[in-house]
Amino acid sequence: MSDPFANAGSLDPEAGFTTGPSVGQAANDLRAAAGEKAKEFAHQAGDQAKAIKERAVETVQHFRDVASEKALAFKSAAADKAENLKTVASEKAREFRSVADDQWRETRVKAKELHITTEDYIRQHPTRCVLGALGVGFLIGLIARR
């Protein structure tokens, strides 16, 4: 960097006045100094922008990695929950099937007992059963006619 006042005038003791650069020269020196300072600031700003960009890229990558880890953890937890629910549902289905099978067996046994009891009654009292069936049929006929 050059000194903008390097060409500034000095006191000439013999002449009794100061000699110095012209106004144009001083303006050129100031422009050159300002240009150099601007280049320096631009370079610093560029370096800072690169540093910020690098930090942003690192931060984004970090967030991406964390999000991937969280997504994998969530997927794993969801798979575990789904497997757990599947196991519980299978157990409940087996229990329901077992209870339903037991109820079906009991109902079949009771139906067979009722069938045997009804057959025995009909064999012991055939006349009553025929007259009873005739009376029930007559009542159904009356109700259907209305």
The parent domain of residue 112 ranges over: 10-145
Q: Is residue 95 part of a domain?
A: yes
Q: Is residue 46 part of a domain?
A: yes
Residue 18 sits at φ, ψ, to 5 deg, of -95, 145
Q: How many CB atoms lie within 10 A of CB 26?
A: 16
The predicted-structure confidence for 19-45, as pLDDT tens digits, reads as follows: 566 888 888 888 888 888 888 888 889
Whether residue 116 is contained in a domain is answered as: yes
Q: Is the pLDDT of residue 124 over 90?
A: yes
Contact 121, 129 (CB under 8 A): yes
Note whether residue 140 is domain-resident: yes
Q: Which amino acid is at 71?
A: A
* Averaged pLDDT of the chain: 86
Q: Is pLDDT of 108 > 50?
A: yes
- The Cα–Cα gap between 105 and 98 comes to 11
When pLDDT is averaged across residues 109-117 and rounded to a whole number, the result is 96
Q: Would residue 34 count as lying in a domain?
A: yes
Tally of domains in the chain: 1
Whether 17 shows a pLDDT value over 50: the answer reads: no
126 in a structural domain: yes
Tell me how far apart the alpha carbons of residues 15 and 12 are, in angstroms, rounded to a whole number: 6
Q: Is residue 71 part of a domain?
A: yes
Enumerate the β-bridge partners of residue 19: 10
Within a domain: residue 83?
Answer: yes
